[in-house]
Structure 1
């Protein structure tokens, strides 16, 4: 099947291109800029465009599917040519649904925890030699690509993002998958550039539940009041399976999960991750993995890339980086690290980087998010505010939003880096937590490793 990608270089798009190439499809693609690791990975498979840019002449009548990335604009020359020829044009999630129409679709949704829960499920399946198709939002240990598609596998596990499908299709991605088995981990207002009100955002999850196939299953986190309300209000003919955070203890920096066989040491930590684990367990059991096999497998799960990822440790200090950026994620991650290392000084650094976090009105959602940190630091780049064409956010607005008198605020990348590099790591035990979906204006995380 001849398939052309418009904006092939994106994280999700290039992984789908690689997956289809491995499946035997003939793949072509274009983009105006492709960065690492996409560039090398595409080049290795012979899929890297010869030159950057958009070339309408690449779009010919024999193309059976055109896949449109979020990066492509509605006036893209290749898209216009595809429309002129009447070719079948898919958004990324539409095409994934086409590939999985005859499979049992397992979709993991929620404002937070999606990647981790999907990763946990895939780890358990891999450990138990159960082959499944999948799409996940992070590179996982033991998996070559973030997307895997076959003809023969019975299940496909999909990370269900609530963001828009494509420039032409304004529906959230997870509305297109029509799950047989669905999970909702949490609901906390996000993507305010697309969903301007909290009610509008919550409505997307109500629609997601309504899209579950008749007789399907909804696994939901009843510790989250909004999730519980939305799940219990749903009237479509589905089974509902609630889960909650399991019992656990922390001893000498090791988290012990309570199981029917007694306390079991696990690699991940924090109440939010234990809650994620409980959701993953329900899903795996509904995919045919019994409880004992789940526990055996999950004991060796180390976490998804950039999700509470330990980057350095010595006898005294430890450093983590985490993708956390929304208020609920920041609060959960900060609390988790302090709970895991109660005797260390927790220095929590948060970069405000997304549209939502740099919005003056949304900032108040961060109140209390860094309260579990001994030292709380916020970094944001005024340049990022300008690039995103947002109203300027002031130092005073940030200080007021977090409602913490000792909050340290940096706007200069060099000054923030100097602060990190002059902390007294040698004289006291420090837990350094770097939370961002960016890189603090160019911080090299490998250099941070040398500090610990």
Structure 2
């Protein structure tokens, strides 16, 4: 089968391209810019376009499927040529569904936690040598790609993103998967540029539940009031299973999970991650893994990439980076690190980097998000606000939003870096937490290792 990717260099798109190449498909693609690690990974497989740009002549009538990435615009010359030729054009999620129509589809949805839960499930399956197809939003240890597709595997595990499918298809991605087994981890308003009201955002999860196949299963986080409300209100013929955070304790910086066999040390920590683990356990059991086998496997799970990733540690100090940017995730991650290291001074740094977080109307959602930190720092780039064409925000607006009088605010990358390098790691026990979906205007996280 011949497939052509419009915007092949994206994180998700290049992984799908690699997966189809491994499956034996003839894969081509275009993009106007491709960055690492996509560039090297595509080049190794001979899939890197010879030159950057869009070329209508690449689109010919012998192409079986055109896969359109979100990065492409609706006036893209290759897209227009494909439309003129009447070729079959798929969004990324549409094509994944096409590849999995005859499989049992397991879809993990939620405003936060979905990458971690998906990663936990795949880790357990990999540990027990159970082969499944998958698509996950992070590079996992022991897995070559973030997408894996076969003809023979019975299950496919999909991370269900609520963002839009493509420039031509404005439906949320997770509406297109029609799960047999679904999970919702949490609902906290996000993607304000697409879902302008909280009610509109919640509605997407109500639709997601309706898309579960008749006789299917919904596993849901009963500790999240919005999730509980939409799950219990659903009337379609599905089985519902609620989960809650299991009992655990923290001793000498180690988290112990209560199991039927007694306390078990685990690598991940924080109430939100233990909650994620409970959801993953139900899904794995639905996929045929019994409880004892789940516990055996999950004890070795170290976490998803970019999720509470330890940068450095010594006897006195520790440093983590985390992808957290939404208010609920920032609050959960900050509390988790303080709970894990109660005797250390927690310096929590947050970069406001996404469209939602830099929107003045959304800022109030961050109230209390950094309260668990001993020192709370916020970094944002006025330049990023301009690039996103948003209304200018001020330090006063940020301070007022977080409702913390001692909030430290930086807008200059060098000044922020200088602050980090003058923390008293040699005299105080510090837990440094760096939360961002960006890099604080160019911070090299490897340099943090030299401070600890």
Superposition TM-score tier, normalisation by shorter sequence: over 0.9
User: For residue 406 of structure 2, what is the aligned residue in structure 1?
Assistant: 406
Cα displacement (A) at 1:448: 1.0
Unaligned runs of 5+ in 1: none
Partner of 1:157: 157
- 2:282 corresponds to which residue? 282
Residues 6-405 of structure 1 mapped to structure 2, 5 A cutoff: 6-405=6-405
Aligned to 1:165, the other structure's residue is in SS state: strand
In 1, Cα distance between equivalents of 2:450 and 2:96: 42
Quote the offset at 1:8 in angstroms. Answer: 0.2
**CA-based RMSD:** 0.3
SS in 2 for 1:282: helix
The separation in 2 between residues aligned to 1:293 and 1:257, in whole angstroms, is 15
Once the two structures are superposed, residues 239-266 of structure 1 have per-residue CA deviations (whole angstroms, 9 ceiling, x without a partner) of 0000000000000000000000000000
CA distance in 1: counterparts of 2:26 and 2:362, whole angstroms: 45
Q: Deviations over 1:340-390 (max 9, x none)?
A: 000000000000000100010100000000000000000000000000000
Secondary structure of residue in 2 paired with 1:358: coil
C-alpha displacement at 1:450, in angstroms?
Answer: 1.0
Instruction: List per-residue Cα deviations over 1:20-57 (Å, max 9, x = no partner).
Output: 00000000000000000000000000000000000000
Q: Aligned equivalents of 1:447 and 1:47: distance in 2?
A: 33
TM-score (norm 2): 1.00
CA distance in 2 between counterparts of 1:173 and 1:227 reads 19
Q: Give the match's secondary structure for 2:441.
A: coil
Distance in 2, matches of 1:450 and 1:50, equals 40
- Structure 1 residue 449, shift from structure 2 partner: 1.3
Task: Write the deviation string for residues 253-298 of structure 1: whole angstroms up to 9, x where unpaired.
Answer: 0000000000000000000000000000000000000000000000
Deviations 1:77-136 (A, max 9, x none): 000000000000000000000000000000000000000000000000000110000000
Q: Give the equivalent residue in structure 2 for 1:428.
A: 428
Cα separation, 1, equivalents of 2:395 and 2:35: 33
CA offset digits 1:319-357 (Å, max 9, x no partner): 000000000000000000000000000000000000100
SS of residue in 2 equivalent to 1:108: strand
